[in-house]
Chains A and B, each alone.
Chain A
Amino acid sequence: MTHSTRDVHDALSAYADTAPDLSSQATVDGVASKVSHTRHVRAAGAAAVLALIVAVGTVWGTGIFRSEQTMPAPHPPTTITSGPVPTPAPTDGPGPGLAQNAQRLGLPLHVDGLALKEIRRVPTAAGPGQTISLPSTTGEVLGVALGCPTSVASQRRVTPDFHVYDTAGKDVRPNGAVCFRVTADLAAEPGGMSMDLLLVPGKTTSVRVSPSIRFGASAEVGLYVPVPWSEYPFDQVPLRPRRVTIDGVRWGGPISGTTGGFTAAATENPLEALVLNAPRGRFRLTINGRPWNPCPRPESTTTCRNGELIFWQPVEGWTVDLLGADGTVNLGQQVTIRVTAIEVDGSWTAGIRAGESIGPT
């Protein structure tokens, strides 16, 4: 080659100049779309704890709901014990039972390890907000699930933002406001709600829902409590299969039953991740021999509970970054990851994105 490195640099620079100078907003919108897609894929397969779903009931006053000014008296707390899942009792409302109310609002009776316990109606006048007491459980973490409207509803600008605060006044949604399902907008697609999940510690006795704008007389809130794996009515919950293609993953091959495991020795860098394709099941993870909670928060959730990773629905491409895992993984460090099935409903596959060596055990 008879060209200098300067020639190469100049040639590359000249060609790089042909890159289009696009609108930065278009790029940001494209990035947000990719982030949203990734988040929904993860949330669908490994949802966090849900205990509360807020649905706007009377935005345009169809006359279905009463315009209550005071919060109805909460039901006595119910303790979750082992045994058959208790049938949720009918709650306050215009008359129909819990199941009918849930169907009207598009709330599932069971979702991701949680059971709908009751539906509350709360006033939604603008101001400091409305306190909603939460049912107590046997120490399980409660969560706050907020339904986000479909894109159809969004286009009609029926997405008021709410904030949710725990008993100590801490905003449980620090990364931004939450969105709501609009049920009285006849133009909105029913059942088109996606689950947006929050989490509060199990000892939280109440949350305060504070609307930023006034949009109607009241909202209806679904309260969910965790259900043990052995009591969860899987036969009553439709499977939610996902097909996601994850590039750049070196898979360990299909692993059957609970006797198999997956071990990977990975060259650590900020870009590596553990990826799982699995049916419903419970797993245990270790990293460098230590138990690994792959969820972002240390408190128990329906996904990470009692040292277990739980998939209440089949997952495809469930991903967790390795850097910062349990605070033990740092740049330049070799890591060994072990995935062991405890109880699984079929074969599963694990892989490492950009790993050095992979092998099933």
Chain B
Amino acid sequence: MKREPEGFSDFVAARGLPLRRTAMLLTQDAHLAEDLVQTALAKAWPRWHKLDAPEAYVRTVMAHQFYRDRRRRWVGETPTETLPDQPGDDAASRIAIQDSLIRALSTLPQKQRAVIVLRFFHDFDEQQIATALGISRGTVKSHASRAMAALRVSDHLTDQSTDDSERSPR
């Protein structure tokens, strides 16, 4: 088995967790997330010395791999901890909102989920998402539009009551 390229281990030690965070959002499974990270790093391995921005490259590979991987199950539900019983508390309310959003996100098809993660977690613009996933900007818009429409009518989110005025998403 070959030794890793120079600097590879240091990179993994420094940036492995951020990459795993992205993978976790995409796969919503710790084991699949690690596998996705390793697969992307394996693709970067032979061209390591040529990469000017290895983290960006690996993250792009991860997103692209997830987007194209037909093996991955569409996880309709995601296990979460029990919602707090005491509504009204700011922290509990925030946790409840986050939980609802994640549950709703888990119901999205993986291609739409990839777009949402890159858009809202990594703040990618449409062109960056298109480049990362190897698709056109039009396809990005289509995925984003369908994802937002699905989230709007998601049972996980419409069950959530808000005591604030309406806040429209971008």
Contacts and interface: CB of A to CB of B under 8 A. Distances in A.
A28 B2 CA distance: 12
B169 A27 contact: no
A31 B24 contact: no
A1 interface: yes
Contact of B9 (A2, A25, A34): A25
Interface string A318-353: 000000000000000000000000000000000001
Q: Which bracket fits the contact residues of B?
A: 35 or more
B102 A11 contact: yes
Contact of B17 (A19, A38, A267): A19
Contact of A354 (B23, B68, B148): B68
A15 B42 contact: no
A8 B38 contact: no
A34 to B, nearest CB: 4
Contact of B167 (A2, A30, A353): A2
Interface of A: 1-5, 7-22, 24-25, 27-28, 30-36, 38-39, 175-176, 247-248, 267, 269-272, 353-354
B71 interface: yes
A247 B43 CA distance: 14
A24 B11 CA distance: 9
A332 to B, nearest CB: 9
26 contacts: A1-B169, A2-B157, A2-B167, A4-B169, A7-B98, A8-B116, A8-B120, A10-B98, A11-B105, A12-B105, A14-B98, A19-B20, A20-B20, A28-B12, A30-B38, A31-B12, A32-B1, A36-B1, A36-B2, A176-B3, A248-B65, A248-B69, A248-B70, A353-B68, A354-B64, A354-B68
A183 to B, nearest CB: 21
B33 interface: yes
Given A3-B169, A20-B34, 7 more contacts: A1-B157, A2-B157, A4-B169, A18-B30, A24-B12, A27-B16, A270-B57
Most B CB contacts (10 A, CB to CB) among A3, A21, A36 go to A3
Q: Which 5 A-B pairs have the closest CB atoms?
A: A16-B21, A11-B101, A19-B24, A11-B98, A34-B42
Contacts of A15: 24-25, 28, 98, 102
Interface of B: 1-4, 8-9, 12-13, 16-17, 20-25, 28, 30, 33-34, 37-39, 41-43, 45-46, 57, 60-61, 64-65, 68-71, 94-95, 97-99, 101-102, 105, 116-117, 120-121, 131, 134, 148, 151-152, 157, 160, 162, 166-167, 169-170
Contacts of A1: 148, 151-152, 157, 169
Contacts of A21: 17, 20
A13 B9 CA distance: 25
A32 B2 contact: yes
Nearest to B167: A4
Nearest to A154: B1
A28 B8 contact: yes
Nearest to A9: B120
Contacts of B167: 2-4
A12 B97 contact: no
A267 B139 CA distance: 14
Contacts of B65: 248
B167 to A, nearest CB: 5
Contacts of A7: 97-98, 101
Given A10-B94, A271-B134, A22 B34 contact: yes
A38 B46 CA distance: 11
A20 B30 contact: yes
B25 A12 contact: yes
